Chains A and B, each alone.
Chain A
Amino acid sequence: MSGNSTYEPKNGLSRWLDARLPIMRLAHDTMSTFPTPRNLNVWYTFGGILTFCLGVQIVTGIVLAMHYTPTAAAAFDSVENIRREVNYGWLLNFIHSNGASMFFLAVYLHMFRGLYYGSSKAPREVLWILGVIIYVVMVATAFLGYVLPWGQMSFWAATVITNLFTSLDQIIPHLGGAHDPGLGTTITQWLWGGFAVGDPTLNRFFSLHYLLPFVIAGLVVLHIWALHVPGNNNPLGIDVKGPQDTVPFHPYYTVKDGFYLCLFVILFAFLVFFAPDFVGNPDNYTTANPLVTPPHIVPEWYLLPFYAMLRSIPQKLVGVLVLFGAIATLLFVPWLDTSRVRSMRFRPMMKQFFWIFVADCILLGYLGSQEPQAVWHLGGVDMPLLWPARIGTLYYFAFFWVIMPVIGLIETPRPRPDSIAASVLGNAQAAE
């Protein structure tokens, strides 16, 4: 989408088209000859895998929508009908529901990769921010989709998440007279289309769930555009210095991405065919009941760390601000990282804090899956899980707002190789 084009039309028709709509040129330059650092490793294959995931969700989603009924009375039964009666409905349904999990698995690895190799740093700040926005829209889409089967977890997820906005009542308690609802309640009732989650809510969630994947697709185009201006970062985190540092995207990375995509699809297929409910919650096989909250409600696994943060805060508005703040923090990473070295391969101190951060995210995910009153029995001492959750939340924010800027200033990075080619081929060959 930028840089010098190497496309040469081969015949009269392609010359004619190229002069009117250079779409073949665009495809050629972005997907075939695009110069890509020659040292990209397995962690760089998730961009392609994520594009695959988006495609799978859109295609399975469109056909599932042909059989789904978005009303409170019929939604649950229509999903069961898809599973039992529609030809291959079971397959399409399980690909779509497990596809969400695979999508998030890939996006989290993609994000940790970006963090580790300093991919957010100049000149790729806009690329990173677009990625964070895509992640936020993904979370919204996944949440809306989780509500559609209208099971108990669907209903109560919708209730809890939309109620996050009622915390704004603590800022403006009344819009109008003393007994009028506050800002938060007003927004929440606007989202619901009623006084509780119900038919209007389900219907609009279906509409938006259908819309947002196409918004994501548009954002992905911008994300790839912003990638192709500076070009890929790489595991060394050093700039490409010339043609000796790169290889054409095709066939080198089409084949590499394709190989790892195959491994990814094997795991995907294993879930779909052998453990289709592994990531699901059994309570969602009970029809939504507005009068009974299940004894233990949890979000899907990919939102558990944020849920643990929310629950670790005893004050409602602060809890909600921490929840949203945890995601908003990611927007500032390009400027919070003060190191002049991108890749943590050459950052001995930061590397350790990074792996503690990864462990912290996993710990928070585990804590989010436990009951709010849960207690750990550690050699005769009872510790409420609240405390590790609070420490984990504190580390999450400290990692970005304290550790990242401070370590970047005080750390002595290890020496970096002269060039990508020198690192890959050895200095002698690269000099030729």
Chain B
Amino acid sequence: MATTNTAEPTRRDFIHIATGTVAAVGVGLAAWPFIDQMNPSSAVLALSSVEIDIGSVQEGQQSVFMWRSKPVFVRRRTKKEIAEAEAVSMNDLPDKLARNLNLPEDAPATDKNRIEKPEWLVVIGICTHLGCIPLNNQGEFGGYLCPCHGSQYDTAGRIRKGPAPENLAVPPYAFIGPTKLKIG
């Protein structure tokens, strides 16, 4: 029998490589359902938008609503809080992006880009560090203080101090009436 140990690839080498490749692709395809089953199910994805009435929120107050099982802070800011948020220089912001899903990705984090109407701050109430719920009206900047690792946000929900990397996210939302919001 002729030796197969030659420098030239043989038909047997080709068959080995082809078989191995098909087997690897097959294992990968077979594994995918076992991986993908852990992703959010259709039932979870279906709960994509909610309509809320914010008429009962008074100036200086905040209400919390649930959207996609996440808390959404709706804060009716006072004149003083609005003025404070508008006066912040961009140089004082660790995260200079608006993080507003209603605006282009590179929009700067001015107070104007964080809100639709100056009175209403609408943000996802989850600390961008490790997911705790920040406490309202606490910390050095009058906005939020996360109790877990001490991140501090201002009255526009922008990160000012601590380990959180990003401003509190602004969810996609629109006013569908004077005091009616559609989130999502």
A residues apposed to B, CB below 8 Å: 156, 159-160, 162-164, 166-167, 170, 178-179, 189-196, 198, 200, 204, 290-297, 310-311, 313-317, 319, 372-373
- A sample of 18 inter-chain contacts (CB < 8 A) reads A159-B130, A160-B130, A163-B131, A178-B104, A193-B38, A195-B69, A195-B70, A196-B68, A200-B40, A200-B44, A292-B133, A293-B146, A294-B147, A297-B147, A316-B164, A317-B165, A319-B163, A372-B149
Determine if B71 is an interface residue (Cβ-Cβ < 8 Å). yes
Q: How many B residues are at the interface, by size bracket?
A: 20 to 34
Contact A200 B165 (CB under 8 A): no
Partner of B132, one of A162, A192, A297, A313: A297
- In angstroms, Cα B151 to Cα A163, docked, is 15
> Interface digits, B40-79 against A, CB 8 Å rule (1 contact, 0 not)?
1100100000000000000000001010111100000000
- In angstroms, Cα B38 to Cα A204, docked, is 8
Residues of A within 8 A of B3 (CB): none
Partner of A195, one of B68, B133, B163, B165: B68
Partner of A170, one of B41, B70, B105, B165: B165
Q: Which residue of B lies closest to A294 (CB)?
A: B147
Contact B40 A291 (CB under 8 A): no
Contact A372 B148 (CB under 8 A): yes
* Majority secondary structure, B binding face: loop
- In angstroms, Cα B63 to Cα A301, docked, is 35
Contact B68 A315 (CB under 8 A): no
Contact B68 A163 (CB under 8 A): no
Return B146 CB to nearest CB of chain A, in Å: 8
Contact B40 A195 (CB under 8 A): yes
Partner of B40, one of A194, A296, A317: A194
Residues of A within 8 A of B69 (CB): 194-196, 198, 290
- A293-B147, A372-B150 known; A164 vs B64 contact (CB < 8 Å): no
CB within 8 Å of A: which of B98-152? Answer: 101, 104-105, 126, 129-133, 135, 146-150
Residues of B within 8 A of A204 (CB): 38
Q: Which residue of B lies closest to A195 (CB)?
A: B68
